[in-house]
Amino acid sequence: MLRSMYSAISGMNAFQTELDVVGNNIANVDTTGYKASRTEFSDILSQTIAGASQPSNAGLGGTNPQQVGLGVNVASIYTPFTQGADQETGVNTDVALDGDGYFMVSPSATTNTPTAADTAPTVTTVGANPVYFTRAGDFSVDASGDIVTPDGSKLLGYLQGSGSAPTNVQDLGAVNVGVVPSTGGQPVPGNFTFNANGTITVTDPTTNQTVETWVVPLAKFFNPSGLSKIGNNQFQQTPDSGQFGASAAAANAGASMGQAGSNGFATFRVGALEASNVNLTDEFTNMIVAQQAFDANSKVINTDNNILSTVLTLEQQA
């Protein structure tokens, strides 16, 4: 059979994958904090028809190898973590990250509800519950006073003044802005303010006195492109992204945590959201190239089919 047919088939498969990636990028052009994916190709092993030879003492020159390629393969689908443009919203629970870092959230962290008047809650840490990472800061406050993402995952942090900063994500707890007012009774929504340095100041709505200050640390990874997308604008760590230890006592390898605005971590920009980093001009260009390449490979298969039909006709005439 003709080698070109199999090469063209591999080309059609590869460019179909690129079209899938481009289509997903375009679909997420307005998704908060979305990071576009890119497709990279590599050639498949070539068939060597003749090997190389070195120049001889008789005066003959050397010859280069003769090889026929056997197609193309999708080498990687990677995510360049360039920053999207900030969009002003004016909403005090919207936070864009200017610089490197990720919010840490958990879908199953325990709610840290205050129990005493004008007193910070006793924080239950996230422990072994899953922790995910996101650049999308479109937060809100739920009925329990937790600061949450649109899918209900809870923003993680720790109370300022509760000791030294945690060294591991398992030491963090769900940020809660509920307050038991000085007059007593059940917790009510406290007044709270996000600050550029990653802190959240919570005050008693009846006295306007500060009750507690949460610190919302950020995570960084040696290889952000190694993070795995899990939907809902969230990522999870992988062995190639760098990882936080599996427990509070375990060492972190290739991952670090720190306060916003310090040691190279991003600052909080309150009242804004980071837009998708999809560039529509690039995506439409990639789409045109992929579509034309897919069509060209299909024409190679059509040509091969005509050649095989000709050979079959010759055999019938013999």
Q: What per-residue confidence (pLDDT) applies to 62?
A: 85
Question: For 240, what's the count of Cα atoms within 13 Å in the CB-facing half-sphere?
Answer: 5
Q: How far is CA 307 from the centre of its chain?
A: 47
SS3 42: strand
Question: Dihedral of CA 25/131/187/116: which sign?
Answer: negative
Crossing angle of helices 3-27 and 280-317, rounded to 10°? 160
In DSSP terms, which residues pair with 77 in a beta bridge? Answer: 39
CA dihedral 247, 248, 252, 258 (to 10 degrees): 140
Amino acid at 289: V
* Whole-angstrom Cα Rg for the chain: 28
pLDDT at residue 76, rounded to an integer: 92
pLDDT at residue 248 in the model: 63
SS3 of 89, please? coil
CA angle 60, 63, 67 (to 5 degrees): 165
Whole-number pLDDT of residue 59? 75
Single out the residue of 97, 102, 121 nearest to residue 111, CA to CA. Answer: 121
Domain ranges of the chain: 3-49+66-80+279-317, 86-274
By CB atoms closer than 10 A (0-12, 13-18, 19+), residue 68 is exposed
pLDDT at 249: 67
Write out the chain's pLDDT in tens, 318 residues.
578 888 899 999 999 999 999 999 999 999 999 999 999 999 988 788 888 888 887 778 888 888 888 889 999 998 999 999 999 999 999 999 999 999 999 999 999 999 999 899 999 999 999 999 999 999 999 999 999 999 999 999 999 987 555 878 999 999 999 999 888 888 999 999 999 999 999 999 989 999 999 999 999 999 999 999 999 999 999 999 999 987 666 778 899 999 999 999 999 999 999 999 999 999 999 999 999 999 999 999 888 888 888 887 876 765
Q: Give the integer Cα–Cα distance in Å for 51 and 119.
A: 79
Residue among 31, 29, 78, 21 at smallest CA distance from 287: 21
Give me the DSSP letters along 154-191: EEEEEETTSSSPPSSGGG-EE-B-EEB-TT-SS-EEPE
Of 45, 5, 20, which Cα lies nearest the Cα of 286?
20
Query: What whole-number distance in Å separates Cα of residue 96 and Cα of residue 89?
Result: 10
Give CA angle at 162 (220, 236), nearest 5°: 25
For the full predicted model, state whether its pTM sits above 0.85. Answer: yes
